[in-house]
Amino acid sequence: MRPRRARGLLTIGATAGLVIGTLAAMPAAGATAATGCAVTYTTNSWQGGFTANISIKNLGDPIKGWTLGFTFPNSGQKVVQGWSATYGQTGSAVTAKSLDYNGSLGTGASAGIGFNGSWSGSNPVPTSFTLNGVTCTGSTGPTATPTATPTVKPTATPTATPTATPTVTPTSGGGTPLGINGRLHVCGVKLCNQYNRPIQLRGMSTHGIQWFSRCYNDSSLNALANDWKADLFRISMYVQEQGYETNPSGFTDLVNRYVDMAESRGLYSIIDFHTLTPGDPNYNLARAKTFFASVAARNAAKKGVIYEIANEPNGVSWASIKSYAEQVIPVIRAADPDAVIIVGTRGWSSLGVSDGSSESEIVSNPVNATNIMYAFHFYAASHKDNYRSTLSRAAARLPMFVSEFGTVSASGDGAVDVTSTNAWLDLLDSLKIGYANWTYSDAGEGSAAFRPGTCSGGTYTGTGVLTQSGALIRDRIRTADNFPTG
């Protein structure tokens, strides 16, 4: 569909929001000194990498603009990707400078930031922090005796995991999407419910769970189900890019927890084996068999799980994608014979359009399996009439599901194209094609639904926390579903 966007967090030296050079723990331009502060630093490590989340609390006078400074104890520790601040590193010294939206901190106010890092040798926790040049001791005054130390919560999984039992647990009966529709199946070219009637599921996709697990918790899932009135939660588990291959058991457990959280709120879930780089899914064939054998056996009794076996194949022929699918699907079927399975398509799941092909290669040579659908992905500012025409033709011959789309350009960033997005959603609604929007996260990119920093604050409801993309998609998703039961 594109030269693929770098869809993770910002990378040092790569783009605005992260800088590299000679840095010191100095106040931001125009900032005022902090007279007291406290910092909590929590980290989750895996071999060679870690995620750090930092909470900064201003205990002194109000400040406008801040710079947090600290030093890594080990010279092998590096900031790789960060969010909610502008990061820089010289040697072991790190600074994080506030952004426009979180630079003002009143007395007692807090800001949450974080980053992904790499390490060699060891990964000790920094023990001293400064805010605008003043040492953070947990009380006011630059020479106060420290009263708080950073908190470390190591875990075997690469990110913080949600609780296994949500605090608000609407049953999967009654008026929830799962309660109404029950187990789904493919009938003809449509996705059908337990009454054998075509339906459309509408929902959101996570960002990479190795980076954004802080966004997926009881409060955010409650908002998705009750405020957004969504039907679907897509769980994007990257395989490479600090994902599954680094900790197979940890990521498998995390995916299963998210499935449980979605089910308890009456939402369907898509388990997305997020292959992206390299583009040939056969590179991960053994990993896919291991992963899907495990999650299918564990979730076979559930009615709301859909399996997406290869996110966006690219640089590879349809014949190779088909071969991969015909080896992975039987693994799922051995444990879960009735589940719907989504198969990725050529050219970043564009039905081959982004490679100069079309749906005809699939129509003439479909996957040899039943109860499957084919993925189509688009980004509204980049992919317009020719992509819409292809999907319209394909939907008359093939069961289609838009398991990922964005309102912005194929980079995942840039301005929201409202006109093209609405044209796409009108088309999907008219064809009853289900969809998941990229992304239910606070990533610093135009496709994110939440403003940066939202996931550190814990409030997910209403429009005040949403980006332009989030507000547009929430407005479309929360309109009434049409789930026929007769």
Domain stop point among 107, 135, 163: 135
DSSP 229-285: --SEEEEEEESSSSSGGG-HHHHHHHHHHHHHHHHHTT-EEEEEEE--SSS-GGGGH
Q: Do residue 278 and residue 391 come from a single domain?
A: yes
Q: Do residue 222 and residue 332 come from a single domain?
A: yes
> Can you tell me the distance from the alpha carbon of 314 to that of 389, in angstroms, rounded to the nearest whole number?
21
At 266, give phi and psi (nearest 5°). 75, 25
> What is the model's pLDDT at position 52?
83
Is residue 433 assigned to a domain? Answer: yes
Q: Do residue 113 and residue 181 come from a single domain?
A: no
The structure tokens listed for 258 are 């998210």
Q: Do residue 131 and residue 248 come from a single domain?
A: no
Q: Do residue 287 and residue 340 come from a single domain?
A: yes
HEC-encoded secondary structure of 365-393: CCCCCCCEEEEEEEECCCCCHHHHHHHHH
CB atoms within 10 A of CB 24: 11
Q: Do residue 202 and residue 126 come from a single domain?
A: no
CB 155 within 8 A of CB 209: no
Is residue 483 assigned to a domain? Answer: no
Provide the 8-state DSSP code for 37.
E
HEC-encoded secondary structure of 297-318: HHHCCCCCEEEECCCCCCCCCH
Instruction: Give yes or no: 312 in active site.
Output: yes
CB contact set of 14 (below 8 Å; sequence gap of 6+): 6
Q: What average pLDDT does this structure show over 232-243?
A: 97
The rounded percent of the chain whose pLDDT value lies above 70 is: 84
**Site of tokens 């640089």:** 315
b/e per residue 391-407 (b: at least 16 CB within 10 A): beebbeebbbbbbbbbb
Is residue 31 assigned to a domain? Answer: yes
> What is the model's pLDDT at position 53?
76
> Can you tell me the distance from the alpha carbon of 52 to that of 62, in angstroms, rounded to the nearest whole number?
26
Q: Do residue 112 and residue 41 come from a single domain?
A: yes
Q: Do residue 120 and residue 211 come from a single domain?
A: no
Instruction: Give yes or no: 404 in active site.
Output: yes
Q: What average pLDDT does this structure show over 14-31?
A: 34
Is residue 256 assigned to a domain? Answer: yes
Q: Please tell me which residue, 81 or 52, carries the higher pLDDT value.
A: 52
Is residue 322 assigned to a domain? Answer: yes
Angle, CA of 454, 458 and 459, to the nearest 5°: 75
Across the chain, what does the average pLDDT equal?
85
pLDDT digits (tens, 9 = 90+) for 417-452: 999 999 999 999 999 999 999 999 999 999 999 999
The rounded percent of the chain whose pLDDT value lies above 90 is: 71
Is residue 155 assigned to a domain? Answer: no
Judged by DSSP in three states, 215 sits in helix
Q: Do residue 108 and residue 216 come from a single domain?
A: no
Active site residue: 312, 359, 361, 445, which one?
A: 312
Is residue 342 assigned to a domain? Answer: yes
Q: Do residue 195 and residue 332 come from a single domain?
A: yes
Q: Do residue 126 and residue 187 come from a single domain?
A: no
pLDDT at 386 over 70: yes
- Domain holding 389, by residue range, is 177-477
Is residue 300 assigned to a domain? Answer: yes
Number of domains in the chain: 2
CATH number, domain with residue 131: 2.60.40.290
> Can you tell me the distance from the alpha carbon of 304 to that of 426, in angstroms, rounded to the nearest whole number?
25
Q: What average pLDDT does this structure show over 303-313?
A: 97
pLDDT band at 36 (very low <50, low <70, confident <90, very high): confident
Domain stop point among 135, 153, 185: 135
pTM: 0.68
pLDDT digits (tens, 9 = 90+) for 116-152: 788 898 999 999 999 998 899 886 543 333 333 333 3
Active site residue: 263, 359, 404, 445, which one?
A: 404
pLDDT at 174 over 80: no
Q: Do residue 235 and residue 356 come from a single domain?
A: yes
Angle, CA of 336, 439 and 475, to the nearest 5°: 105
Judged by DSSP in three states, 474 sits in helix
**Which residues, in sequence order, are bridge partners of residue 375?**
401
pLDDT at 66 over 50: yes
> Can you tell me the distance from the alpha carbon of 191 to that of 345, in angstroms, rounded to the nearest whole number?
18
> What is the model's pLDDT at position 107?
86
CATH number, domain with residue 364: 3.20.20.80
Judged by DSSP in three states, 437 sits in strand
